[in-house]
Structure formats: C-alpha cells, structure tokens
Structure 1
Amino acid sequence: MLKKWSLLAISVLFFITGCASEENQEEVTDESLEKVKLVLDWTPNTNHTGFYVAQEKGYFEEEGLEVEIALPGETGANQVVASGKAAFGISAQEQITEARTQDIPIVSIAAIIHHNTSGFASPADKNITSPADYVGKTYGGWGAPVESAVLDSLMKQENASVEDVNIINVGNTDFFTSVKRDIDFSWIYYGWTGVEAELRGMELNMQYLTDYSDKLDYYTPVITSNETMIQENPKTIEKFIRAVSKGYQFAIDNPEKAADILIESVPDLDDELVKASQKWLSPKYQADAKKWGIQDVEVWQDYANWMYENELLDGELDAESAFTNQFLPEDK
C-alpha cells in the first residue's frame, strides 16, 4: 500500500521492475479508498443521475472514496442511514420531517431537486382538470396519511372534500396499469412517469402541488446522513457532497451525456425514457437556486407547519436541525 512506502522506495522499485502490473495498481487504489454506502430510495432513475456520473467520471475516486450505490431493502433507506449501516441515503423532506419529530436522527445534507415536481395525474379522457373534479373519482395511492391530507388541502380550495373521493391502495402497481384497471388518478413525479406517458402517447392532465400551495413546494428527493456521521466524519461527508455536486453539475450542463452514463451504469433501464427524462429534469436540479443542493429553512418550516396543522406529525419540527448546507462546496 502507498502509505507503507516512501516516494524513494517506490522510485527504486519502479526502476528495478520497469513498472507494476495493472493488477497490483488496482489493489493499491482500492485499498487506499474509503468505502461508504449510498442507499437509494427506489430503483435507479434520473433523480439519481448525479451519483452515477460521479462514479463513472471518477469524482468519488478523486476525493478518496469508493461508493457503493445500493437499492433499498424492505426497511428502506431512512432506517438504514439512521442506524449507521449506510453513510448516505435518498429520502424526501416529508419523510425526514416525520422522522425528526419521532427522534430518528437523519439529516438532509443536500436537495437533489430544488422544487417539488410532483402532482396528481390522470389520463385526459378522465376529464379531471382541477381538484374539484376529484369528487366521485377513484384515487390510487400507497396508503400514507399524507395523501388524503394533500388531496383535501387542494380540494378545499375549490369547495370540495376528500370524503367524496374513493381512495384505494394500489401498492407497487404502476400508474399505467392502474389507470386502465382500477383508478382515475394518482400522485406522480412528472420527470419520470409523466415523461413516460408522453413517450407512450398518453395525454395527461396534471395538477402540480406547487400550483396550489407554496407550503407544498418542498424538497424531494434529498440526500441524507445521520447525526453521528455528521459529528464524527464531517470530512467524509464534505468529500462525498463535493463529488456529487460535480456529478449533478455535469448532468445540468450535459443532459445527453449524463443520460448515456446512467444507461451504461444501469443497463436494465429504458434508453428512450432515460434520455427524455434527463432532458426534462436536468434544468430542474438547480432551477432558480443560487447553487445546486442548497436548502432554505423557510421551506422546511412551512411544510412542517402544514404537516402539523393537518395532524400528520406527533410534534412540531425543529426545522434548523433537520437539514444543513455546511457540506456544499463553497462558491468560487
């Protein structure tokens, strides 16, 4: 290993042997890197492009890191990160807000997308053009209390009630199967499912959450770590975020090349969908923020207040402790 040899010894060895074998060089590199794990929130998609770019372009290695990108298990990324079994994870502001009020020590260390790109989607032939049209319709979700609260929040603005919506749990059934079989509308992220609908030739009606309330313009997804990691290994987090920032900046500046990297890294993905999604999403990573990843305490406080008012939290959130911008690269 390099740390066991002086520069002089390495020079003499190189002179004697001519050059080290490629196998030995790889061993030196691997053993000198700090290994950390990143747990995704879902299967790989364009929300995660920056990580795969950082891996492929060598940004992690430049920071002395070897990063394992792992899929979430049954327990999910939040629990794995909170327990310290992974250094980093992907989550969303609503999940962290709930976790923090339950004393689960996860912290958001960067926002992947600066504005909420989600909303309620339905095929155009369902004739759902506003929240008032949800009355008498069937909504397909995943069984979380926040779904009913968000639906009701939007519907109240048009003098309608969520009590008049038939809400069913469709689990992991995909949007396109569900709307043909069981439901009229669902909550989607347009950057993936909406773009896929475009490619399928399916016209959608969308009600974006941000069109109805500033309080629902929260960060989703975000990168997380845990309090112990922040206290004991801040340099590792700094290196990780510096590499990831480069990865997302590359994806912002080069959507087509970034899409190619994601496709090569995850061959099971649909090439056409990845490229179209990346083109749509790349401008959204930073949007109108002064730099990628930055978070605002008002965004955290506003959404926490909304959740508390809608009885989705056991207690009020200490917004300043739920996130940090300290690991983002300094402006040049």
Structure 2
Amino acid sequence: MLRLIGALACCVLLFVSSASAQATKIRFTLDWKLQGIHAWYYWAKDKGYFKAEGLDVSIDQGEGSAATVTRIMSGAYDAGFGDENAVIQTAAQKPGEAPVMVYMIYSRAPFALLTKAGSAVKTPKDLAGRKLGTPPGGASFKLLPLLAKNNGIEVSSINVTNVAPNLQEQMLLQGQVDAIAVFTATSYMNLVSLKLDPDKDFRWLYYADSGLDLYSNGVMVSPKLAKEKPEAVKGLVRAVNRAVREVMADPDAAIELLAKTEPLINKDIEKRRLLYVYKTLIDTPEARSAGLGDVDDARLTKSVDIIAQAFELPRKPGASEVFDRSFLPAKPERMPPALKP
C-alpha cells in the first residue's frame, strides 16, 4: 500500500511539473506606469485568460512607448505594449531584430504638443527658439524631428529640456518651458487631476493635424517568440483582445480590479482616462471597419515612407516586417463594443 501511495504521489508531482513546464513564460512590459489604459492586461491575467492559453505572463511597468522596443530587443522582455513608429525605425536599422506589432490598439496616434491657451506657441513652427520640455524616452519626443521637418523648421532651433515624466505639466504651469511634447492619454488626465480644464485652459497641437497620420501603441512581440512559439503569440493576442472587449463592456469592474493591483490609483481619474482613450484613440472609424487590432495596409505603408524620409533611415522596412496580422483572431471577434450610456 505504501508503495502504491508513493507511486501515486510521484505521478501527481510529475503531472504538476509537466503542466508547469508546458506553460510558456512571457515577460510583458507596459509603456508606462500603471494606468486605466492598462486594465485589459490585468483583466486577462486575473480572469485566467492567459493561463487558459497555456501562458504564464508577468507584467511590469514601463519607461516610455519607444523604450518598449529596446526593452524587448535587450532580451529582458518577450512582449510589450509600445509604439509602432519606434518599431519602424528599429526595423529599418536592424532588420530581423526589431519586435513586430501583432495587435494594434491605438489606431489614432496620441502625440501632441501641449501649451497654455494664451501661449505664443500656436503652431509647431512657433517652437523655433522656444523651450520644449519632454522625457527623453517618450514617443512624442522621438517623433519631434519628423514633426519639425514636416512643418518647415529645424529641430536644432528648438531648445529641448529633458524633464521627468511626472513633472512635465508642472514645469509648463510654472513657465519653465513654453510647451511640452506629450502623450494625450497621460497629460489630459494629469491636468484633470490638477483640477484644471484641459480643453479651456490649454492648447493641444496634435501631430495628426500637422501631417503625421500615424499609428501608435499596440502589442508587440520579439521576433524569437513570433518564430519559435507562434501559438503562444496567438494565445496572447486572443487573451488581450477578449479582455479589451470585456473591459470596455464593464469599465467599472475593470478599474476596481486594477485598484487591487495598485491601491494608490485614483479610480475616478483612471476610469475617465480609460473612456477618453477608448473614444479618441481606439474606437475609430478604421477600427469599426477592420476590427480591433488590425491596420490599413496602405496607411501603414505611408507611415513607413514618412518616417523613413524624415529620419533618413537606411531602408524602408516592408509593412509585413513591422506588423503581422496572422496572429489576430477572426474579425467578428474583434469588433469594438459600444460604450454603455
């Protein structure tokens, strides 16, 4: 009997060990500190969607949308949420080494210049000779040379001041800089949290209105993960897609769940941020046509052309090098849900 019990115990241990070994570990980096716009990743983890796909996903906060690319290329992370434009630049310079986008989330870019409503900076051209505050790792700063070139000014004429991400709005308010290069999803709500009116008290100069109709953030993976474990990538995308749709169907529950991970978040602010981003960057006419996660090939190709020219890249990567739709679920599963009134 003791031998039988021992044999059964060994079988159980072997089964558990085998199940654990089969789970694909994915180290996932966010683009920034934990915010409402990251709710779906934690939703997918908490609801067991990653686990159901045979994945063991760990999630860390980030240091900037463009920095997600370098984090993945360093080998520290397998996947992440970051900027497509940084992928394009890297793919042009290091073919085969850059991450590939597999699920586009922000089909409209949230890049903008922010200044006070009464500022002399009324167009991008007005930045010449003035101080611009920006974190060095931010995607809006990475795209500044492109914005400058498209608007007929020398980027060297802009006095760039590196600032800590959490001090951008304060430095603008104190007059230490004339404008800041921002990610609207972050700065809009930072101003709200300061009891300011983002629409009345400030001027927003959107990159999209100045010749840069670009894509932005989405889920990207390392070429190694895409090549060696394509089913794991499909599972990651399925889990995230399901979570995005469920989070937007019940944002209150999603924010409550997020608060369990980070009790210090302001739930009202993060819910408003989540809804603002969904309405302005995610639930676009293109997303309603193609489904969440996909892109328009012609638009993406144009984006590659613009970035390659503006940054004088050594080559233009093909659209398939920077975005791979083969991991996407079927279109009916990716339609953006309507928000509840």
- TM-score tier after normalising by the smaller chain length: 0.7 to 0.9
Matches within 5 A, 1:1-332: 33-72=23-62, 76-103=67-94, 104-143=97-136, 146-154=143-151, 156=152, 164-172=157-165, 174-179=167-172, 180-202=174-196, 203-213=201-211, 216-283=212-279, 284-288=281-285, 289=287, 290-332=290-332
Unaligned stretches of 5+ residues in structure 2 = 1-7, 333-341
Measured in 1, the distance between the counterparts of 2:46 and 2:142 equals 39
Per-residue deviation, 1:152: 4.0
Normalising by structure 1, we get a TM-score of 0.80
Matched residues, number: 306
Moved more, 242-251 or 271-280: 271-280
Measured in 2, the distance between the counterparts of 1:295 and 1:84 equals 27
User: Cα deviations across residues 142-188 of structure 1 (Å, max 9, x unaligned)?
Assistant: 4556313313423x3xxx66565433222545222221252011111
Measured in 2, the distance between the counterparts of 1:137 and 1:152 equals 16
Measured in 2, the distance between the counterparts of 1:27 and 1:272 equals 43
1:129–1:254 CA distance, 2 compared to 1 (3 A): farther
Is the contact made by 1:116 and 1:217 (CA closer than 8 Å) also made in structure 2?
yes
Measured in 2, the distance between the counterparts of 1:108 and 1:122 equals 32
User: Cα deviations across residues 210-251 of structure 1 (Å, max 9, x unaligned)?
Assistant: 1122xx222221211122222221111111110000111122
Measured in 2, the distance between the counterparts of 1:191 and 1:311 equals 25
Normalising by structure 2, we get a TM-score of 0.79
User: Cα deviations across residues 3-32 of structure 1 (Å, max 9, x unaligned)?
Assistant: xxxxxx99xx9xxxxxx9xxxx99998666
Per-residue deviation, 1:135: 4.4
Per-residue deviation, 1:96: 0.4
* AA in 2 matched with 1:147: L
Measured in 2, the distance between the counterparts of 1:272 and 1:230 equals 37
Measured in 2, the distance between the counterparts of 1:162 and 1:83 equals 29
User: Cα deviations across residues 95-143 of structure 1 (Å, max 9, x unaligned)?
Assistant: 1011101222311111121111221111223253333443443211245
Is the contact made by 1:87 and 1:226 (CA closer than 8 Å) also made in structure 2?
yes
Is the contact made by 1:249 and 1:292 (CA closer than 8 Å) also made in structure 2?
no
Measured in 2, the distance between the counterparts of 1:314 and 1:229 equals 26
Aligned residues with identical type, % of pairs: 18
Unaligned stretches of 5+ residues in structure 1 = 1-8, 14-19
Is the contact made by 2:32 and 2:63 (CA closer than 8 Å) also made in structure 1?
no
User: Cα deviations across residues 259-279 of structure 1 (Å, max 9, x unaligned)?
Assistant: 222222222323232121012
Measured in 2, the distance between the counterparts of 1:255 and 1:208 equals 27
Q: Which residue pairs with 2:339 in the alignment?
A: none
TM-align CA RMSD: 3.1
Q: Which residue pairs with 1:17 in the alignment?
A: none
* AA in 2 matched with 1:249: R
Measured in 1, the distance between the counterparts of 2:231 and 2:330 equals 14
User: Cα deviations across residues 183-214 of structure 1 (Å, max 9, x unaligned)?
Assistant: 0111112222112213323322101111122x
1:127–1:201 CA distance, 2 compared to 1 (3 A): farther
Per-residue deviation, 1:294: 0.8
